[in-house]
Amino acid sequence: MQPIFFGRVGLPHLTFEQIVDAYASWTLGVDTYRRNRDRRLDLGIPPRLSPADLIKGGSYRGDHDCAVVSRRGEGTFLLRFVHRDAEDGGILWHSGVKLSTSAETCSLEHAVARSAPRGATLHPVAASPSVFVRLLERNGPDIEPRDLWNTGLLRLPEEDVEDFVSHILLDEQRKVPYLVVTPTNDAGSFLVGPEQLAKRLAGLARVVEISTKGGAFRFTAELKGRGFSNEFGVSNGSVRLFHADLHPGQSHLQHYLWLRRRIESIGETDRLKTLSGEVASRIVGRTLPLAFFDLIEEHDRRERQRAAELVLKATVSPPPEEEGEALKQAIQERDQRIVDLVRTVEDVQLDLGALRERYEEEARNRRDAEDRAIEHELQLDEQKDQLEHTIEQKESRIRELTHRLEEMKAGKVGTELANEARGAFEACIDGEPTLEQVLLALVGLYPDRLVVLPEAWKAARQSAKFRKGREALRLLRSLATEYWEALQAGKGDAQARRIFGNNYAAKESQTVENNKRAKEARTFSYNGQAITMLKHLKIGTKDSLSETLRVHFEWIAKDGLIVIGHCGGHLPFK
């Protein structure tokens, strides 16, 4: 059996009868759920079964192996509903419900699972029962656990990340898992719709959409600032499941990460179904109580035991004096047999208790072994992803170095590179360096932070007459140090204004952005990808190569690099 949903809530503002009535209507497809009536009948629900019969308690079988079993006791209601899948008749759906009441609240537990013939493969799916979600909404925010009262998507702008991490994610009282979804760094889009995920996981987890890549970097930085390693982060289209009781001493593997590469490997048509199913499986595997779907059998066993105890404890009146000795002897023998039967029943109960304890211990051991196997599998998956990511970074670095080597050859740097680099450093230290010397010096100092494209080298050489080399050095050095460090720490682009002041512009004018040729002039190729670079540093305003400088660049978060596409005079406006 494959569990796919388990919810446990306290509903203080709904009565026991309201909840029981809701489940009877949902099961049979009547009243509030009358739109489902025809579908329920097609699944095999007995057509004459009424809500009153179901609420009273009983066992009912319909067509196509459909079965409805309910039990009603004082302050207790149990329900099991089994039916075949509407599309694949080989799959059975199992719903188990347990409702109990106290003076303060009604406690509701609802589990859903699927089963299939031996050898058949059941792919993970997520399915939140509509009746469970509606009851959460009817009860309102005063609910336990409180995180479940709102089943909608939680959108998280960058400025709210710190409060979310401090007061919600790391709250010691949190009992509900949180699924954090991030946008891709390049396109700023989501690989799977956060709203659709929230609907599929309603009542099971809260889904959080971090709105921007800056917010994702801030999220990782906030966790790191509270003692967590970088491995707990989530960014660039990835999705991470944070279980309750999150603390820095845990392994990051306990909170599963779906990397962008893993999500993109799933076809777009199956992506939502597959991802939500895998999330649900990892949550329910931790929360579903052992043998929950045996709730009806367990109830019946207890009832039979209670009835037997009442019979055995009943006192027997002594026979009248006038009865014969033979009758007295028969009664004594009967009483002795009852005593022997009581002892036998007690021995059987002890044996059953011991067997149950052994069964539960074996089940716990098996679940622990499965958890260890899953964690090992996750570790291998993550190591594989990390190796692939490392290979990708190395290949990117090789392409970059090859590109730079070709540019050096084209610029006839060759064996004179050492002399030119030395001259660049000397000019930066003692004199007024040219733009090319500034770039040479900074690339030599920060090769793991800066990439200068061929177009930028060419523009720098064309601006050899630029008179403010030291000012250009100051700006570009800040770009490679303060600005790079801020972005690497997950801080937003707002830091640029503080670092560069009026020498920075986050975008171009509307005239440029709306002009196709002007945008093409600001679009550069990096690692086979066309990148439009509207951010730029600036010195001067005249149309003069000696007095004006524009440095167009872009932050490539996945590589941790600032790529400079242009370093020279004004680019064309039209």
Q: Give CA–CA dist 179/258, Å, rounded.
A: 11
pLDDT (0 to 100) of residue 382: 66
Can you give the length of the chain in residues? 574
pLDDT (0 to 100) of residue 489: 82
Q: Which residue has the higher pLDDT, 443 or 359?
A: 443
Question: Using CB atoms within 10 A of its CB, is residue 351 exposed (0-12), middle (13-18) or buried (19+)?
Answer: exposed
Q: Which residue has the higher pLDDT, 360 or 547?
A: 547
What are the phi and psi torsion angles at 422 (to 5°)? -65, -45
Q: Which residue has the higher pLDDT, 508 or 18?
A: 18
Q: Which residue has the higher pLDDT, 253 or 325?
A: 253
Task: Among 187-191, 204-208, 510-514, name the one with the lowest average pLDDT.
Answer: 510-514
pLDDT (0 to 100) of residue 415: 44
pLDDT (0 to 100) of residue 413: 42
Q: How confident is the model at residue 82 (pLDDT cuts 50, 70, 90)?
A: very high
Residue 321 has pLDDT above 60, yes or no: no
Q: How confident is the model at residue 150 (pLDDT cuts 50, 70, 90)?
A: confident
Q: How confident is the model at residue 445 (pLDDT cuts 50, 70, 90)?
A: confident
Q: Which tokens in the block code for residue 356?
A: 């149950």
Q: How confident is the model at residue 417 (pLDDT cuts 50, 70, 90)?
A: very low
Residue 120 has pLDDT above 50, yes or no: yes
Nearest CA among 72, 460, 499 for reference residue 299: 72
Residue 418 has pLDDT above 60, yes or no: no
What's the rounded mean pLDDT across residues 171-181? 94
What's the rounded mean pLDDT across residues 379-403? 69
Ordered structural domains, the chain, with CATH: 1-143 (3.30.530), 145-265 (3.40.30), 411-568 (no CATH)
What's the rounded mean pLDDT across residues 64-90? 93
DSSP of 161-213, one letter per residue? HHHHIIIIIT-TT--S-EEEE---TTT---SS-HHHHHHHTTTT-EEEEE-SH
Residue 446 has pLDDT above 90, yes or no: no
Return the HEC string of 248-287: CCCCHHHCCEECHHHHHCCCHHHHHHHHHHHHHHHHHHHH
Does the pTM surpass 0.75? The reply is no
Q: Which tokens in the block code for residue 64?
A: 């196509």
pLDDT single digits (tens) 193-224: 999 999 999 999 999 999 998 999 999 999 99
Q: How confident is the model at residue 311 (pLDDT cuts 50, 70, 90)?
A: low
What is Dmax (Cα atoms) for the chain? 136
pLDDT single digits (tens) 265-309: 999 999 999 999 999 999 998 899 888 999 998 888 888 777 777
Nearest CA among 531, 512, 489, 527 for reference residue 573: 512
What's the rounded mean pLDDT across residues 79-104? 93
Q: Give CA–CA dist 380/275, Å, rounded.
A: 19
Task: Among 28-37, 490-499, 536-545, name the one with the lowest average pLDDT.
Answer: 490-499
Mean pLDDT of the chain: 85
What's the rounded mean pLDDT across residues 527-536? 89
pLDDT (0 to 100) of residue 559: 87
Q: Quick check: 469 and 435 in contact, CB under 8 A?
A: yes
The strand ranges marked E within 44-91 are 58-61, 67-73, 76-84
Q: How confident is the model at residue 416 (pLDDT cuts 50, 70, 90)?
A: very low
Task: List Cβ neighbours of 180 (8 Å cut-off, separation of 6 or more).
Answer: 208, 210, 219, 234, 239, 240, 242
pLDDT single digits (tens) 96-118: 999 999 888 999 999 999 999 98
What's the rounded mean pLDDT across residues 421-443? 75
Q: How confident is the model at residue 191 (pLDDT cuts 50, 70, 90)?
A: very high
Angle at 220 between CA 217 and CA 221, to 5 degrees: 85
Nearest CA among 557, 556, 517, 522 for reference residue 536: 522
Q: Quick check: 81 and 49 in contact, CB under 8 A?
A: no
Q: How confident is the model at residue 168 (pLDDT cuts 50, 70, 90)?
A: very high
pLDDT (0 to 100) of residue 563: 95
pLDDT single digits (tens) 325-350: 777 777 777 777 777 777 777 777 77
Q: Which residue has the higher pLDDT, 554 or 396?
A: 554
Question: What percent of the chain clears pLDDT 70, i.e. is strictly above it?
Answer: 87
pLDDT single digits (tens) 40-52: 999 999 999 999 9
Q: Give CA–CA dist 241/253, Å, rounded.
A: 10
Residue 171 has pLDDT above 80, yes or no: yes
pLDDT (0 to 100) of residue 414: 42
Q: Give CA–CA dist 22/321, Å, rounded.
A: 60
pLDDT (0 to 100) of residue 412: 46
What's the rounded mean pLDDT across residues 12-25? 95
9-23, 279-293, 381-395, 491-505 — which one is most confidently predicted on average? Answer: 9-23
